[in-house]
Structures are given as structure tokens and as C-alpha cells.
A and B are shown apart, each in its own frame.
Chain A
């Protein structure tokens, strides 16, 4: 028993080291005033906010953050709406081609996004939405939809039909039932899928890199690359920017932790 708890302790320690060390290093370097002078210490001698002020000021990161936030929120909101409607359709209705639609949604999840850069770039060019945040929202929306529909479908199906029928008996229309019965009950599922959509949009790199020409339209993932540049790498700024990017995602993950795992099980175990 002692040996096993020692083993557990070691396992936990090793695990924490492996998971947290890179994160720790990122944050510590962001606060390291001498990161650019080649300091690689695990505990900076010179604590400073300079890297952050540089990144947000001269580095123009404030702009990138707000761009990313706009894109991510646009994706989340539009995605939640479209995915919910679609999920209700496949979970609550039996119709011709229902299975085909489901299979298509499943398969389309597997399409390598990287393979679509070329045609989507050309499409966006002809529609004139290159170099605009809106173009990115639409693309990210498409990428996050299949997973969102697939996951939400489980949540919608889990809402007892009796509740809906009770609403009908009270004389509610389908729309009324949707808003006041179904929607509130699948809200946890919406949280889970929204977190996923948010992260998809927030982290995406290839399309943001390819679509955006004007620096003012960069998202954080692309904006970060500027510090990996001309005069060697500005590690202090790079890590400060990285910390700023990672923080919101972490907060989201921790807030939505339980819903997220529920969502995963609903999406994955159910298949």
C-alpha cells in the first residue's frame, strides 16, 4: 500500500511537471526583464512588466487581441445558433436523408482544414472578403459547426420529450416551446460547444496567416510571429504575447471544465 501511494505521488509529481513546466516557463520568461539579453533562468532576477507594455504598446498586440476576440465571439454566437437549430433537426425529427446528413456531418469533420486553404483563399478573393475579419468568422464557423452539431445532438436528444409535450399541452407553439423549454435545457451543451468554437477561432493560424494582409487585421496567432523576427527573437515579448493569448483560453477551460468533459463524453462515447 505504501509503495503504491509513493508510486502515485511520483506519478502525480511527474505529471504536474510535464504539464505545467512549459506553461510556467512561458509566464516566467514573460516577466523576465532580461529574457532578450539571453537570460534563460527559471526564476528571473529582474521582474518586470516591460515585456507586456512593449507587446501591448509598440507591438500592437491590443489590436490583435481585440481582432481575435471579435472573430472568436462572432464564431461562437453564429455557431451556437446554427448548430443548435441543426442539432434539433437531427435529434428531434425523423426525416428522409437524416442518416445521410449525419454521416456527412461526421465525415466532414475529418476533412483536413489545411487542404482547404487554397480553394477557400480563391473563393474569399472573389467574394472580396480577404483581409477582413468577417471572412475569418465565416471560415471558422464552417470548421466548428460539424463538431458542434454532433455534440449538441446528444444534449438535445437527452431532453425528455415529455417536457416538450407538456409545453404543447399548455398551448405553446413549437417556437415558444423551443425558446422556453428546449433551449434552457441544452444550455450546458451550448457552453461546451461554444468553448470549442471559441478555441477553434482563437487558436487558428493557417487561415489567419493567409487571409490577412493588413497588419491591423491580424489575429493574435499571427501577430505573435512578429516577435520571432528580424533581430533574432524577442523572447520576452514573444512569451508575454503568448501569455496574453493563453490566458483567456485557460480561464475558459477551467470555467467550463465539467461541461467540457460532459460534452466530450456525450460526443465521443455516444459516437
Chain B
């Protein structure tokens, strides 16, 4: 195949060199520079193809989600060095944006172009595992004596039947990040109930009309869940192994209605937010346009890095329940998984161990402001008194929740059912109708398992 291209290239080049009548020569001459490039180019293409095909003997390709750690490069440089010292193998680390990661994984699984090791979002692990793309790590975890030291929420999310398809790496939870200076100016304190949240928003709106008090992003499912759970609703319920959506239950609808009303009725958001992703929330906050956003434990650091002028002006508080207590918030995070297509699975496991336990795991947690996936390290982190860590730790330990633990839920997420529902509501569809549509769509996926 490669040879064919090369031959084609050579012949093609030959064409441009052929001399002809003067009139023609000029136009061919215009492309002379390019054909010179092509000479170099064709050789290069051939080589590239060979490299991609063979996969390399002692090189592990690793996909890591982009943005978890504001600047992950030094960490991975250090990791690469340590791994080379330990095993003699090199790492080829690539950073994948979260937004396009699910599609990219699915496509690469379908195409057989998966990496050796990848960071996989906890809600996807079951889906990919069941598709036969991931290695069952349960025996290796048992042999390494790690079975009891892993954070339960994360192992649950990675387990299908008896198989564990992902090694817990880190976990995080979303709470509310706010501007302390704006709160002082408006004379409000962090709300502890939903009514207080509305009041706080309205006071901020009055005191600082230039700010969006609490943007409600349409394309951010993790902002919706706390209000569903907080109102006593469920996303879906399981009965004898069969899942049914509960988004159209009265409680869930009430919670979603409240969340939407923050924008629609109380005017605490901006219509532009109807298409916002979670990152747009952060963007707005960084630019100093928003007073409160639902945001992950890992974001304050990134925000401060992007907007140093906010130093000392940001704080965090857990998402409150309707009348006190805490609303459930999605305990999400990432696994490290090994792909079945990897030719170096033992080597890959060594890397997974190196990353998910001990110094590197602690360092990753500290750098990224996520909580580590082993219980020992988590307990250490939860005792922090840092005002930008403690509220998140509280939310995670007291009110961390999972989305339905079934590979089918990965498909629901792939179909963007919740974002589609929320952006529909924010652009005028009634809550009853939108939740019914979303519930039907979800049930179809649960029923079909297609």
C-alpha cells in the first residue's frame, strides 16, 4: 500500500519536471516549488504510515483528558522519566478534550485504533467495557492487594458484573463557586436553602446589574442533577435489572422547574447560557461576568490561573438542599483503563499502578484539585482546611451521588439527552413536555440496548 503511494508520488513528480513548450512551462513552473516539497513529502507519508501501523515495541500510547490539571505537561514529563527508569519504556501522552472525547473513544474502538492506556470518564467505563474494548482489571487489582483501598463510588462505576474495567484514578464533585467580593457588596452570605439561593441572586442582581448572578447552562447535565436529587427525584430507577427513567416524576420535574426558573422566572441567568457548556460557565466567571457558577472542585485553581486578578475574591459553598442540608452532586471522575487492543498489557498495568497509587496519585490530586481514588489518600485530602477545598470535600463525602450505574447510561449521555432537555426548556419548551420527551428517549435506550 505504502509502496503504491510512493510510486504514484514519483510518477506524479516526474510529470511536473517534463519540459514542454514555453507557454506551458510557466504554469508548470508555478508549481515547481510545490513539487520539490512533494518529493520530501511522499517519503514522509510512507514513513508515517509504517510508524502508525507497527505501534512501537516499548512505547505506550496514553490518552489523558485535557484540562483536568491546568498544566499537565510537567507532571507527565516527570511520570515519563520515572516510568522509563522503572521499565525502560517510553510514553506517548496525548491530551484529548473532554467535549469530543466520548465520540473519539467510540470511533477509535470501532476502528481498532485505541491507545494502550487511557483516562476514561467513570460514566463511560461500563459502556466501553461491555463493548469488549477494555481489559478486566479485577484479577490484577486483587493480585496487587489493592481491592480494599479503593473509593467505593469509583469502583462501582467501573464494575460490570464481576469485571472491573477501570482503576480508580481521581474523583471530583461539583459545588458552587462564587465571588466573595460581590457577595460582600450585595450583603449576602452563602445560601443554605433554595429560597436563599434565589434571594441571594436577586440581591446580587440589584447590587451589580452588570453581572449575571447565576448562569443556568443548557448544555451542562451536571448542573441539572443536583436539583433533581435535591427535590427528592431520581434520574432513573432500577427494578430487577431493568432501568426506567424517573425524569418525568413530580419530584424531578419540581427540581428541574426550580433550576429553570432561576433563569426564566427570576432572571438570574442570561439567555445566551441556553447553549453554554460547563466550560462557558467557567469562561464567564473568569471574565468576571458571573457571580456564582456550578463548578467542579478542580476549577478554582484553573480560574485563578486564567484570571489572577480574582485572587482572594473567590470562594465555594456546597450546593444546598431545598430547605437545608446538601443536594446530591454527581461524584464523577476518571478511571485508568487498559484497552484490549494493547499489545503491552503488563507494561500498561505497571503504568496504571504507578499513576493511581502512591506519590504520583497524591501529586496529581494536589495539582489538579481532584480527590484521589484510593481511600487512604482521600481521607488525607478531606481534612483540608483550604476554603477552596473543604466545601467540595464536604459535598463529596456527604452528598456524592452516582448517575445510573449501567453501560446504557453512557449511551444516554452520548445522546446528550439531558442537555437537549435543558436547552429546550431554557428556550421555551415547558418542563412537563421536555421531561417527558427526555424520559421517553432514555427509556428507549434502556429498552433497546442498541
A131 near B18: Cβ-Cβ < 8 Å: no
B107 near A213: Cβ-Cβ < 8 Å: yes
With A70-B41, A80-B15, A134-B1: A121-B110 Cβ-Cβ less than 8 Å: yes
Q: A31 in the interface, Cβ–Cβ < 8 Å? A: no
Q: B48 in the interface, Cβ–Cβ < 8 Å? A: yes
Q: A243 in the interface, Cβ–Cβ < 8 Å? A: no
Q: B237 in the interface, Cβ–Cβ < 8 Å? A: no
Q: B58 in the interface, Cβ–Cβ < 8 Å? A: no
A132 near B20: Cβ-Cβ < 8 Å: no
- Residue in contact with A231 in the complex, picked from B9, B95, B306, CB distance below 8 Å: B306
Q: B295: shortest Cβ distance to chain A, in Å?
A: 12
B37 near A230: Cβ-Cβ < 8 Å: no
Q: A218: shortest Cβ distance to chain B, in Å?
A: 10
Interface 9-mer from B27-35, B328-336, B342-350 = B27-35
With A191-B30, A225-B100, A255-B30: A78-B20 Cβ-Cβ less than 8 Å: no
Q: A260: shortest Cβ distance to chain B, in Å?
A: 12
Residue of A nearest to B283 (CB): A232
Residue of B nearest to A125 (CB): B111
Q: Which of A71-94 contact B (CB under 8 A)?
A: 71, 73-74, 76-78, 80-81
B282 near A191: Cβ-Cβ < 8 Å: no
B37 near A73: Cβ-Cβ < 8 Å: yes
Residues of B within 8 A of A69 (CB): 37, 41
Q: Which of B389-433 contact A (CB under 8 A)?
A: none
A66 to B45, CA, bound (A): 10
Contact with B along A202-224 (1 / 0, CB 8 A): 00000000110111110000000
B53 near A128: Cβ-Cβ < 8 Å: yes
B94 near A214: Cβ-Cβ < 8 Å: yes
A138 to B221, CA, bound (A): 40
- Residue in contact with A214 in the complex, picked from B37, B61, B100, B287, CB distance below 8 Å: B61
Q: Which of B267-282 contact A (CB under 8 A)?
A: 279-280, 282
A118 to B44, CA, bound (A): 28
A134 near B49: Cβ-Cβ < 8 Å: yes
With A132-B49, A213-B113: A229-B5 Cβ-Cβ less than 8 Å: no
Q: Which of B306-346 contact A (CB under 8 A)?
A: 306
B8 near A81: Cβ-Cβ < 8 Å: yes
With A230-B99, A231-B283, A232-B279: A187-B113 Cβ-Cβ less than 8 Å: no
Report the interface size class on chain A: 35 or more
B44 near A231: Cβ-Cβ < 8 Å: no
Q: Which of A231-271 contact B (CB under 8 A)?
A: 231-233, 255-256, 259
Q: Which of A37, A73, A125, A180 has the most B CB atoms < 10 Å from its CB?
A: A73
A229 near B97: Cβ-Cβ < 8 Å: yes
B287 near A37: Cβ-Cβ < 8 Å: yes
B104 near A213: Cβ-Cβ < 8 Å: yes
With A121-B110, A180-B20, A213-B113: A194-B5 Cβ-Cβ less than 8 Å: no
Residue of B nearest to A118 (CB): B110
Q: B23: shortest Cβ distance to chain A, in Å?
A: 8
Q: A177 in the interface, Cβ–Cβ < 8 Å? A: no
B100 near A74: Cβ-Cβ < 8 Å: no
Residues of A within 8 A of B49 (CB): 129, 132-134
- Residue in contact with B111 in the complex, picked from A70, A121, A185, CB distance below 8 Å: A121
With A187-B27, A210-B107: A137-B5 Cβ-Cβ less than 8 Å: yes
- Residue in contact with A183 in the complex, picked from B5, B15, B48, CB distance below 8 Å: B15
With A77-B38, A81-B12, A232-B279: A133-B110 Cβ-Cβ less than 8 Å: no
Q: How many residues of B are counted as interface, with CB atoms below 8 angstroms from the partner's CB atoms?
A: 58
Q: Which of B96-114 contact A (CB under 8 A)?
A: 96-100, 104, 107-108, 110-114
Residues of B within 8 A of A256 (CB): 30
A131 to B53, CA, bound (A): 9
Q: A61: shortest Cβ distance to chain B, in Å?
A: 15
- Residue in contact with A132 in the complex, picked from B15, B52, B61, B306, CB distance below 8 Å: B52
A131 near B37: Cβ-Cβ < 8 Å: no
Contact with A along B33-60 (1 / 0, CB 8 A): 0110110011011101100110000000
Residues of B within 8 A of A213 (CB): 104, 107-108, 111, 113-115
Q: A226 in the interface, Cβ–Cβ < 8 Å? A: yes
Residues of B within 8 A of A217 (CB): 48, 52
Q: B434: shortest Cβ distance to chain A, in Å?
A: 26
- Residue in contact with B8 in the complex, picked from A78, A128, A210, CB distance below 8 Å: A78
B18 near A230: Cβ-Cβ < 8 Å: no
Residues of B within 8 A of A121 (CB): 110-111
A81 to B8, CA, bound (A): 8
Q: B270: shortest Cβ distance to chain A, in Å?
A: 15
B45 near A74: Cβ-Cβ < 8 Å: yes
With A37-B287, A121-B111: A259-B27 Cβ-Cβ less than 8 Å: yes
Q: A116: shortest Cβ distance to chain B, in Å?
A: 15
Q: B302 in the interface, Cβ–Cβ < 8 Å? A: yes
- Residue in contact with A130 in the complex, picked from B42, B113, B282, CB distance below 8 Å: B113
Q: B257 in the interface, Cβ–Cβ < 8 Å? A: no
- Residue in contact with B99 in the complex, picked from A70, A73, A125, A229, CB distance below 8 Å: A229
- Residue in contact with A133 in the complex, picked from B19, B48, B99, B286, CB distance below 8 Å: B48
Q: Which of B2, B38, B96, B113 has the most A CB atoms < 10 Å from its CB?
A: B113
With A77-B12, A80-B12: A184-B20 Cβ-Cβ less than 8 Å: yes
A256 to B67, CA, bound (A): 43
A137 to B15, CA, bound (A): 19
Q: A124 in the interface, Cβ–Cβ < 8 Å? A: yes
Q: B7: shortest Cβ distance to chain A, in Å?
A: 10
Q: B66: shortest Cβ distance to chain A, in Å?
A: 5
- Residue in contact with A184 in the complex, picked from B9, B21, B280, CB distance below 8 Å: B21
Q: B11 in the interface, Cβ–Cβ < 8 Å? A: yes
- A-B interface, 5 closest residue pairs, ranked by CB to CB distance from nearest: A184-B20, A77-B12, A232-B283, A213-B113, A230-B67
A/B interface sample: 19 pairs, CB < 8 A = A70-B42, A71-B45, A73-B38, A74-B5, A77-B8, A77-B9, A78-B5, A130-B111, A132-B48, A132-B53, A133-B49, A183-B18, A183-B20, A188-B24, A191-B30, A213-B107, A213-B113, A215-B94, A229-B99
- Taking A74-B9, A194-B31 as given, write out 6 further A-B residue pairs in contact, using a Cβ cutoff of 8 Å, ordered by the A residue number: A73-B9, A73-B34, A74-B5, A213-B115, A226-B97, A259-B27
